[in-house]
Structures are given as structure tokens and as C-alpha cells.
Structure 1
């Protein structure tokens, strides 16, 4: 018997090593589905003030990136910490996958778990993880006064004892919203841009319409979309918006090449394959059409931020 023990121990070690190699290869295959693209933006047309504003906006993108991570799953930060402290041979790969997918679920494979054993909640981090559609609908049926707040795109649904409550984003993510608002106001003070100041207000009061209207008038060197927009991470109902940032710099030379198409906007609107009542025949020929270079992104865009020198 003693003669066989070393052999059994060696077999166990060999099997363990084989499993590590197989797992490593699997994780690498997951990582290989992504490629790194070095996005270069020509910033030569930016003034010194534009560059200062751009840095502020990239800082906002970093803040909103953290909000989106929490919106995706409220314990996401704890899971990342668990990966870091796991001391697995594949820790570096797992962290890379976690950062790419904003959680331990493979978003390219129907949210298949690649670390831990927690299924991805359909309601992400904006509903109780155990909430069902039936429970949500029953609550509204029993409490019709809550319907507007519960279906709002800017609230998180939480349990408080045996009750359900809708908490506005400005309260649920108060620290981050205050940080984002302060940075937006600092950027707005440099440019007197109505969108930036109104969006700062929206971060604190959850009223986004005014800032959306101001966004329509943006026509400067910097083009930004920043705030809560897309709803597809909410797989329970699709009600809740998720934070993102899309920060770009206008390419003046290539944008000028598109000016010729402005004269055809009305005709293109006329020929859209939708009912006439949904067409905008008041669209002017001065509607902005721009070519832009992306310099930063965050949140639902799942993009890395590039530094601005």
C-alpha cells in the first residue's frame, strides 16, 4: 500500500495541473473573442479650454462607470474582490474577463457564469435579486399610487421590511451623482454650455428632459452623450435606464464632407419606411451631421477610457 501512495499523489497532481491548463485555455479563448483597438483622436483642433473640459468629462465617465457596475449587480465590487483574493492560477484572466463583462457572467454566451455560482439576476441591480414579474405587478395592482415611480427609468426598487420602495437614482447613487454633477458644473463653467449645467442638475433631481432638449442644440468641437440611457440591461421589464458615457471629438475635415447630404434630409425623411405620422417634416437643412473620433466611454458602452494629454 505504501508503495502506491506516491503514485496516487503524483496522479492527483497531474490531474490538477491538467485542469488548470484546460481552464486557462478556456479563459483565454473567452478573452480572444475581444481585440484591443488603439483609437487615436486628433486633438489639434481643440482649444486649451476644450481640453480642460474634455478631462472633466472623462472623469465623469469614470464615475458613471462605477455606477453602472453597481447597477449591473449591487454586490459586483465584492465579487471582484473575491477574484483578486482567490489566488487562483487564472486570477489575471478572471479579472480581465470580469472587467470586460462588468461582472462574472459571459455576456456573449447568454450570461453563462465563469466565476462563482450566482446566476445573473434578470433585474440586474435595480430590483431585488429575488423579485419576479408577478410580484412587481401585484404590488402595483395593490398600490396603484406607486406605479409611476416603480416604472420610472430613474428609480431602483428595494425591499424595506415587507414593503417595496422606489428610490430615485439621485439618492440610490448619491455620492457618485454628486461627484458627477460637480465635475459637469466645472466643465460648464469653462464653456457656459447649457447641456452640461442642465445635465448636472438632472444628476441631482432625476429630471432629464430639459438636459435632453439642450443636448439637441450641441454643435461644438466636443460631442457627448452622458447619463442614463439604455434599458437592455434590465432583463426583467426593460424599464430602468443604465448609465453610460460616450465622449467624442468632432473631426472637422470629414464632417465637412457630409454637408452635401443636408439638402437631402427632407427627402430621406419622406422615404423612411414608417407611417407618415412618425416622420418629422419640420426637420431643417441645418441639422448637424458630424464625423467624430471617440476618446472615452464608460458604463453600458463597455469601453476603455483613453488618456488625454
Structure 2
């Protein structure tokens, strides 16, 4: 495999220059009930890194810059929809906070809260103890958020689905909200279809079903409503911005323009196949973007609802082509996995290295890479696309913090084993790992539908383990050097080191803890209570990875949720005299616990809009 030379682009860590600056002496200010105090907000912000992404856009032509602007305008709307889909009071609470901020003279108390709102993408924060708590006067967070009736009882909804199996597909659709049957809701939703003949025609039979419910039992049960209908006004605005962007790109990159037009139409139908086919098979020039609702991590109720995101990406052509040339014969990689799941791997895997221009909704943050689409059928037809975020992956501040955590946890002889290149390679093969192995149950069922709220736990764990397993295969084929292999393994250890006990609804945190304990019990790692450090036995690593991967793939193939939950219980334990000791040491050594990512191009646009 060809080695990609990583060029580190300095990105500033801002310690005190937050997005929102407080003014003046605020000792006398007391905020209304429900708002965090300045002491509470400062405790979190002091443990937060602020990263500003400012990629060089000088190579973009004027038409491309206009397209970027239109995409960011669409992204701003998507961001609001994302926040609203997580909490019904998010946008109103944000507006009230902005109003209070201005009324009080923009003091540090409210400036801090505005920074927290941006950082946590809503009014609920993850505090230093990894608890989800409100920092604004809103209701406590509910599982599943606002894409289900707020606070819905899961058992009641499951019982309703069992008694009405014909409604399951629409209610549990990836891109529908679950509505409670009430006269008000039905009247409102039927009116939307009456007022938008285009949406009515794109969802044949929907209005008739709603009218039938209205006439027969208007006060009981649930129904599914497509995102495009529920968020009709916002989706129509996004549709316009995407088409405007396509117009600007028509003479610069016709394939990208075609993708944008397809995706604008996908959003009206809540069916992304046409746009995904164009996206995955297209060969774009300088720009790319993830647009729409894909990931289900925020659905902690059933794990089936996707949440909106959009990002605008600048392609590094040379790095992309060099890296893509090293990804070959993925069928052989799949066939070598320790659990046999025969399927044909579509070798059409689009791979790009990008700098993030702006990011919105679910994807905003310090995420290093993404592979989409997730639907198994579409992946088999068209392949998938991997987007590696170069200006996140090579961020020196983020890597230095990772190094500090790693050095605090492992014995001194292993502290230098971590490298940026090893992390890059591990992340790349993690994303490829999503593409390989089990993609549906042995009976042909959807993995999300089968494993529900723990599906993401197992999918992310599979990808982690495939990455580590494949590294050994590449080493044996002499496509990977021994030093890089060791660095990838060190990255695998860092991956499973937790600074807080994870909640069960945290897919990443839980699967990381499970891997740590599996490695511990199988003696890949051992803990010295006197040194409070971990010893690593790299020789045992490959066999143990293969063993755990085989078990994970087997559970995915079976689709048995009870077995998945049993594995989580078996390996998801937390020991105060081991895990917590390591966590405390890593926290003490690291400079920050949270990351807040800002985008220069977006802030310039927001200033422009604010001055209009």
C-alpha cells in the first residue's frame, strides 16, 4: 500500500478568544432560574479546545465560491433542523438566550452559555462527569429526541407496532418523524400536503392514509410522516439553495452540479438512491459535500432515525489520488476476515482527502472521517464514498492532546509508539472496515432494524477491529512496514482509552470500553496498580483482535439483539480501581476534554448576513 505523506497545517487553539466574548464586570448579574451559573459554564469551557478551520480557497473560481456560499446557506438551515430534531425547545431556548444576552449588555455569563450552545449543538451539555444535563431552562433530554413524540414510552410504541405491522415500515423509516395521532397533528399534516402539490405527488398514498386515520380513529396510535413533509418549509428552502449551487457549478464541474440537483430532489422524496448513485460514482473536481440525513447515532430509542448534516469539503487532488491507488482487491480483504459472510464487494470505493470548509448539524465537530451511504442495498449497487478530513486528522493541537493522554496511560517504553501517520492509516481502514464484513443479517434483514439501539455499537466496533485485523494482513503482504504496523496498534490502544465511564447510549464510548476489557482479559494489555500504567504485548494483539472480530461479526450476522446486549453487559464493565485511575491520570495530563470547531468561511458569511 502506498504511504500518504501527511502535511500538517497549523490550526490555532484558542484558549480565551471564544466565539462569543463577554463584556464588562458582571459580578452583579444573576441569571434567571434554569440557566447555568458562570462557574458551571466556565468549568466546561476551560476544558474545551477551540479549533478554527481556515482552508486556503484561493484556487476556487468565482463560480465555485458562489456555490460554497449557497451550500453554507443550506447548511445553516440543516443545522437548525438538527438542533430541533434533538430537542423541541432548542431553537426557542437559543433565541431567548440571545435576547437575554443583548438585554444584559452581553456579559460573560450569557456569552459562556452561547458558546456552550454552539459547542453541544443545543441546550443539553455533556458535563465533566459525562452526564447529559440542561444548561438552559428546558425539559430534560429524552431518548430518541424530537423525531418521536417527546418522551414516548418505547414499550407502548413497540406494542402499537406489533398490533399494526403494516405501519412499521413508515413509522420506523430512516427519514420519517413518528407522530402521535391527534386531531391537531392530522389536520396540520394534511394541510401541508394540500398546500404543496409537489410533495403530495412525490408521496403517493400518504394523504389518503392520513385521511383514513382522521376518519376512523383520530385519537389513538402513531403514524410516520416523511421529513420532507414535517419540515416542509425548511426543506423547500434547502432545495432552492442546492439548485442555486448547481447552477453556479454547471460550467465548472458538471458531475458535482448533477449530484447537487439529484440530492435536492432526494430531499423532497426522502429517498436518496439517485443522489447517492451520483455522489458515489461521480468524479468531482475541487468541491464535495455530505448532504442530508444519514447517521443514526442520535436515535438512542430505536437506533433507526437519521439526523441532518451538511459539510462543504475542498478536495486535495494529489493526496486523494495517491491514497486511492493503494486501495485495491478489497474482495480479498473481506474474504480473509475471521467470520465467513460470502458477498460480492463492489470495488467502486470512492476515496477523497479533504479540508473541511464548513460543517453543519450531526457531522459538525472533530470527526476525522466518514463513509457513506449506509444502506446495504445501495452500497452493493453503487459502492460507497470515504471522506478523510485532512485538516482535522492532521491538526497538531488535537494530536498533541492525544499523545498526552496516551503517554499518561501506558508505560514509558510505549509512550513514543503513537504517530500521526499510524492514526491516519488506522482511521482509513476503520472507514473501509464499515464497507467490509457483515452488511445485513443472514436472513437478509437490515442491521439497524434487527439490533436497534445497539446497532451502532456493533457497527463501530466491527470497523475498529477490521482496521486492526487488516493491518496485520497488509504487514504479511509487505504492503505495510513493521514500524507503521506498530503505530497502528498503538492507535488501537489509544482508541479504547476512556477518560469517563461511558453511558450505555454512547455507541463509541461503550464499544471502546468493551474492546479495552477484551484486550485486558486476553492479556494484550495489563495494568500495573503501582505505576498506574498499562503494559502492551503487541505480539498477542493480532490473534485477540481476530477472536473479538469473529464474535462481533457473528452477532451482526445473527441479528439477535439479545446476544448483542449480552455481549455489551459482559464486556462493558467499569472498575473504579483500574478504569477510573487511568481516566483520572489521562484527564490530568490532557489539555482539554471537549472540542469546539469553528469555520472562518462560515463566520464571514454569518457576519455578511447579520449586516444585511
Interval of TM-score (by shorter of Structure 1 and Structure 2): 0.7 to 0.9
More helix by share: 2
Deviation, 1:236, is 1.0
1:82 aligns with 2:129: no
Query: Is the contact between residue 269 and residue 279 of structure 1 (CA under 8 Å) also seen in structure 2?
Result: no
Q: Residue in 2 aligned with 1:135?
A: 156
Q: Alignment partner of 2:326: what SS?
A: helix
Equivalence map 1:42-57=2 (5 Å): 42-57=56-71
- Mark the runs of 5 or more structure 1 residues left unpaired by the alignment: 1-12, 17-21
Deviation, 1:114, is 2.2
TM-score, normalising length: structure 1: 0.83
CA distance in 2, matches of 1:273, 1:79: 50
Deviation, 1:156, is 0.9
Q: Residue in 2 aligned with 1:298?
A: 360
Q: Residue in 2 aligned with 1:233?
A: 298
1:112 aligns with 2:139: no
Q: Residue in 1 aligned with 2:262?
A: 198
Structure 2 residue corresponding to 1:173, chosen from 206, 231, 242: 231
Deviation, 1:73, is 1.2
Q: Alignment partner of 2:70: what SS?
A: helix
TM-score, normalising length: structure 2: 0.44
Q: Alignment partner of 1:130: what SS?
A: coil
Deviations along 1:7-39, one digit per CA (max 9) or x if unpaired, are xxxxxx99x8xxxxx942331121133212222
Deviation, 1:197, is 1.0
Root mean square deviation, CA, Å: 2.7
Tell me: CA distance 1:40–1:47, structure 2 relative to 1, closer, same or farther (3 Å): same
Deviation, 1:205, is 1.5
Q: Residue in 1 aligned with 2:38?
A: 24
Structure 1 residue corresponding to 2:273, chosen from 209, 222, 225: 209
Q: Alignment partner of 2:57: what SS?
A: coil
Tell me: CA distance 1:158–1:259, structure 2 relative to 1, closer, same or farther (3 Å): closer
Q: Residue in 1 aligned with 2:244?
A: 186
- Compare 269-278 and 231-240 and name the one that shifted more: 269-278
- Higher relative contact order by CA 8 Å / sep ≥ 6: 1 or 2? 1
Q: Residue in 2 aligned with 1:149?
A: 170
Deviations along 1:236-293, one digit per CA (max 9) or x if unpaired, are 111111000122101123334425414565654554555352561x415xx5432211
Deviation, 1:173, is 0.6
Tell me: CA distance 1:263–1:236, structure 2 relative to 1, closer, same or farther (3 Å): closer
Deviations along 1:55-89, one digit per CA (max 9) or x if unpaired, are 21111111111111111112211222333455587
Structure 1 residue corresponding to 2:110, chosen from 84, 91, 94: 91
CA distance in 1, matches of 2:262, 2:302: 28
CA distance in 2, matches of 1:241, 1:104: 20
Tell me: CA distance 1:27–1:102, structure 2 relative to 1, closer, same or farther (3 Å): same
Deviations along 1:208-232, one digit per CA (max 9) or x if unpaired, are 1221121102321112111001111
Q: Residue in 2 aligned with 1:243?
A: 308
- Mark the runs of 5 or more structure 2 residues left unpaired by the alignment: 1-26, 31-35, 183-218, 366-597, 605-612
**Number of aligned positions between the proteins:** 289
Deviation, 1:165, is 2.3
CA distance in 2, matches of 1:72, 1:27: 21
Q: Residue in 2 aligned with 1:8?
A: none
Query: Is the contact between residue 149 and residue 155 of structure 1 (CA under 8 Å) also seen in structure 2?
Result: yes
Tell me: CA distance 1:138–1:25, structure 2 relative to 1, closer, same or farther (3 Å): same
Structure 2 residue corresponding to 1:41, chosen from 31, 45, 55: 55
Deviation, 1:159, is 2.0
Q: Residue in 2 aligned with 1:66?
A: 80
Tell me: CA distance 1:73–1:91, structure 2 relative to 1, closer, same or farther (3 Å): same
